[in-house]
Amino acid sequence: MTQEVRVAVFRPDDERLETAVDLLDSLGATPVADPMLAIESTGAVPAPDADYTIFTSKTGIELAAEAGWSPDETTLVSIGSGTTAAAEGVGWEVDKEPETYSSTGLVDLLSGEIAGKRVEVARSDHGSQVLLDGLEEADADWSETVLYKLVRPPESGISAEMAAEGDLEAVAFTSSLTVDHFLAAAAERGSREAAIEGLNKAVVGVIGEPTRETAEEHGIDVDIVPDEATFEALATVVVEEAAPSYSE
């Protein structure tokens, strides 16, 4: 008899959360939807005269397009497939995409060609310093535009309560910030240590090494980092790992 596999998912409360819930349903899991990120637009747009413009998220693409920005003559760089798809969805053609979907991958992709070039980084207020440091080391003339802020919804935290009570079989963290916000929600409830203990009895999946490092710095044991940095890959492996532990 196969028991319920409850998987917490922390995506923003929009089509990304809906897609994640549908995917987990299709994999036979029980989704626990607990958005840990809400988006607040700053109204800013990327500088218009950069040689290269780097986008690191679907959200950044959408907000820039809504504000009327377009790539024009810049070399448009996307961090990965989801961001590229968003760009294509608004009619933009992406010129460059790294093999590894990360800040390090972007640096590796561009470092040999951006010395003395104007490079614009368009992203959230929680972007990795790794990218900016890499651009600096490559002698690029870089600047950063914060397109949106990522905040924790005040109602978040049901997953932290469930983890503290031992009622989660798995979690799927998609960024370091989702880890930080999960722990903040747990701390608000006075159950931070209990929530971490609950996670360490569950299957913990994360997207990317930076998210793994953040989780482990807080004492969370990470079980899964999928080779492909997508939620679909993460969810699939997390459910596969969690399900055998809850069947008899």
Instruction: State how far the Cα of 107 lies from the Cα of 195, in Å rounded to an integer.
Output: 36
Residue 65 inside a domain? The answer is yes
Residue 117 inside a domain? The answer is yes
Q: Residue 173: give the domain boundaries.
A: 6-37+153-242
Residue 247 inside a domain? The answer is no
> For 105-147, how does the pLDDT look when each residue is reduced to its tens digit (9 = 90+)?
999 999 999 999 999 999 999 888 999 999 999 999 999 999 9
Residue 1 inside a domain? The answer is no
β-sheet bridge partners, residue 164: none
**Domain containing residue 50: CATH number:** 3.40.50.10090
Residue 205 inside a domain? The answer is yes
| Same domain for 81 and 69 | yes
Residue 199 inside a domain? The answer is yes
Please, what is the average pLDDT of the chain?
94
Tell me the whole-structure pTM to 2 decimals.
0.77
> For 99-111, how does the pLDDT look when each residue is reduced to its tens digit (9 = 90+)?
988 899 999 999 9
| Beta strand pairing call for 52-55 and 30-33 | unpaired
Sorting pLDDT into bands at 50, 70 and 90, what band is 244? low
Which among 103, 133, 151 is the end of a domain?
151
Tally of domains within the chain:
2
| Same domain for 146 and 99 | yes
